[in-house]
Chains A and B, each alone.
Chain A
């Protein structure tokens, strides 16, 4: 079944996803879309862990790591959105280049 697709194809997929996310992170000037790019990068790491676990490792450690990464990504996204909303209240913009003061 799964041996019909070699492991490297899944790794190509996750590499492409990682660099698409990195491209989005570097070009976007909007905090919400930058957060979306970070989510793509984290997901490419998860794909790698699950694929290596599925193909090479007879245990389920990679899947457990993936569960932890998903949990921490959820916490990170919630905190990031709280920061974005509080910043929007203060400077009426979510462009990171507008937020150039350390203290309000």
Chain B
């Protein structure tokens, strides 16, 4: 086993361990920290696949943005050290069975299907300049229109958040 493979299994266990803790922890703050661990692991996985730009975006947006937002909202809505009550056991049993059956089904499908690797795909390496060119040009393989649509969506989401969360003055 080479170092490259060992790194993959370390990253995978970090992602799955963090995710399991995030959905089962009884303290909500611990769940948020476990989610942070899992998201950092996913950024490390992108780095492992040599997509450094995506790894950087993942770190900035998820780890630096969304998790901080979640922790803020935990502090706004809970006492620190609040313990979540146990889920109803019948609901937990149904959810576990459903998820396990779904996982087993997808696992068996993936095992049966062999993905053909193409030689030149393995040697492509993504330059940041390619991303910029793809986002800001028109034509085949470029994404100017979705880029503009997403920037509009962000503006709309920002205005929407302010409108929803603003405190209405009561007279």
Residues of A within 8 A of B (CB): 1-5, 7-13, 15-17, 19-24, 26-30, 32-33, 35-37, 39-40, 43, 46-47, 50-51, 54-61, 63-64, 66-68, 70-79, 81-86, 88-89, 94
Contact = CB atoms under 8 A, between A and B. Distances in A.
B153 A82 contact: no
A17 B28 contact: no
Question: What secondary structure prevails in chain B residues at the interface with A?
Answer: helix
Given A4-B2, A15-B110, A17-B19, A70 B58 contact: yes
A91 B57 CA distance: 36
Contacts, number: 219
A2 B45 CA distance: 12
Contacts of A26: 91, 94-95, 98-99
A94 B12 contact: no
Given A7-B117, A54-B50, A64-B143, A70 B61 contact: yes
Interface residues of B, number: 83
Interface string B33-44: 001001100100
